[in-house]
Amino acid sequence: MRAVVQRVNKARVTVETATVGEIGPGLMVLLGVDTDDGKDDVSYLTDKIAHLRIFEDGRGKMNLSVLDVGGSILVVSQFTLLSDCRQGRRPSFSASARPDLAEDLYRQFVTGLTELGIPVATGIFGAHMVVEIFNDGPVTMLLDSKKTF
């Protein structure tokens, strides 16, 4: 499971002309599910993202998590995070999980964050979405549950 995590002032996702998810200060998480991901991957990323210290404390040091600052998280599924662009010019998406598995693990991830007390907004799984991200810093982290990078 892969995630692009961005510290944001605000973020919003729309489908067609309707806003379906929106947050103020917090984290924007773009989430991709691999073919061999499972509950352990969900648990790892849920815990890592909830406790990732990327918000500044009173001394300007990144010492606080989204839990510490009372922020929200906007989660959007993005199967293209598992693309392989090493050969040719057309990306391969063979590492991306089937939609049924991906949606189930995506929902487990959202539930896990919610159970930690984090307000969570989402996009619509499988929909064509427009995502507005107001990155704060900018601060962007790449996470992989298999720790490949």
Residue 143 belongs to a domain: no
Secondary structure E strands in 2-129? 2-15, 18-23, 26-32, 55-56, 62-64, 72-77, 120-122
Residue 149 belongs to a domain: no
Q: What is the pLDDT of residue 138?
A: 96
Which residues are catalytically annotated? 78-80
Q: Residue 84 belongs to what domain range?
A: 2-137
The DSSP element (H or E) to which 99 belongs, if any, is helix 99-115
- Each of the 149 residues of the chain gets a pLDDT tens digit; together they read 999 999 999 999 999 999 999 999 999 999 999 999 999 999 999 999 999 999 999 999 999 999 999 999 999 999 999 999 999 999 999 999 999 999 999 999 999 999 999 999 999 999 999 999 999 999 999 999 999 88
CATH code of the domain containing 128: 3.50.80.10
**Contact by Cβ (8 Å): 123, 75:** yes
Residue 54 belongs to a domain: yes
Residue 121 belongs to a domain: yes
Q: What is the pLDDT of residue 45?
A: 98
Query: How many domains does one find in the chain?
Result: 1
